[in-house]
Amino acid sequence: MEYHDYYKTLGVAKTATTDEIKRAYRKLARKYHPDVSKEKDAEAKFKEIAEAYEVLKDQDKRQKYDQLGSNWQQYARQGSGGFHKSGQGPEFTSGFSDFFESIFGSGFGVGAASHRGFDPRATHGFSQKGENTEAKIKIDLRDSYFGIKRQFKVQIPENMPDGRTYVKNKTLQVKIPKGILSGQKIRLGKQGNPGIGGGPSGDMLLQVEFAADKDFKADGGDIYASLNLSPWEAALGAEVSVPTLDGRVEIKVPANTRGGQKIRLKGKGLPAKTPGDLYFTAKIMNPVQLTGEEKGLYRKLKDISEFNPRG
């Protein structure tokens, strides 16, 4: 009976994380699953992969396996709840290899393994949900504000049973939820990679990004826009028409509004349980050209005003 290097079987380092071990197993399982693989000795290889994963995915088993190292035979002879076979009979006869049973015991095997999704004695009954895939989509702010259905063409990686990955073009009909924020994801059930052995397909996760908008910019659920004001509107106050995500509205500009000052429209941001707000940032705009009369008025204002913008 030979020592089984489970790390080598999965092609991972001894320092591999649980997620790295899981990814390596899934890739190899797709490649060697007897229902889809054309590789020589695929069934035996699949059993080895399944056994290695059964040990390395479990923190206690992995720790025990790592601690034993080259002393595994001495441990097996001393008795560990398992048993030691001295004969040269074939491995995997009871589901896992003799090496596995000498360390972890034959009582573990089938029941504990099969309820987790595989039985190493019956690989043709193995099924696994396909991996989730991810893509990015760009939407308009108004798509989030109103919530709509739109078609998107995306490029997604698809893992094939032979272990290779292809880029696939796909057209998706997507319902944009009201109030979705940039960076959030939309899940499309069973639109991901196909499953193995009759298992369900994975999901598609679409990460949302907002397309650039000429009028608005989002920060979380709040929306920001500039509000251009003439000097006299800023000084005297005014009622002006401004755009919002669902049409134009009239707002009051307070007298003595300063450049950079914000005017808030509560609840006019992106919808949510607590809706965001819409902020207009005042920007004082001077005329490009002045008439003679306008220049005269500015000179008069200069003469009578005590305002010093530099303090």
Within a domain: 216: no
- pLDDT of res. 44: 87
Q: Could you tell me if 204 and 227 lie in one domain?
A: no
**Which of 125, 160, 187 is a domain's end point?**
125
- pLDDT of res. 245: 96
* C-alpha Rg value of the chain to the nearest Å: 33
Contact 16, 24 (CB under 8 A): yes
Looking at residues 117-126, what average pLDDT do you find? 48
Question: pLDDT digits over 181-194, tens only?
Answer: 999 999 999 988 87
Confidence of residue 88 (pLDDT cuts 50, 70, 90): very low
**Which of 179, 210, 241 is a domain's end point?**
210
Residue owning tokens 């960076």: 183
Model confidence at 111: pLDDT above 50: no
Model confidence at 13: pLDDT above 50: yes
Model confidence at 203: pLDDT above 80: yes
For β-strands 185-188 and 204-210, DSSP reports them as antiparallel
Within a domain: 187: yes
Q: Could you tell me if 200 and 98 lie in one domain?
A: no
Within a domain: 102: yes
Contact 188, 172 (CB under 8 A): yes
Q: Could you tell me if 140 and 173 lie in one domain?
A: yes
- Percentage above 70 pLDDT, the chain: 82
- pLDDT of res. 125: 52
Within a domain: 73: yes
**Which of 79, 103, 125 is a domain's end point?**
125
Angle separating helix axes 42-56 and 18-32, nearest 10 degrees:
170
Q: Which domain holds residue 185?
A: 133-210
Q: Could you tell me if 105 and 12 lie in one domain?
A: yes
- pLDDT of res. 56: 94
Within a domain: 119: yes
DSSP characters over 32-56: H-TTT--STTHHHHHHHHHHHHHHH
Compute the mean pLDDT over every residue in the chain, rounded to the nearest whole number.
84
For β-strands 222-229 and 278-284, DSSP reports them as parallel
Nearest to 104 by CA among 157, 74, 65: 65
Question: pLDDT digits over 225-254, tens only?
Answer: 999 999 999 999 999 999 999 999 999 999
Give phi and psi for 11, each to the nearest 5: 70, 35
Total domains in the chain come to: 3
Task: Give the separation between CA 57 and CA 243, rounded to whole angstroms.
Answer: 56
Model confidence at 197: pLDDT above 60: yes
Q: Could you tell me if 67 and 116 lie in one domain?
A: yes
Q: Could you tell me if 120 and 11 lie in one domain?
A: yes
Residue owning tokens 């919002």: 244
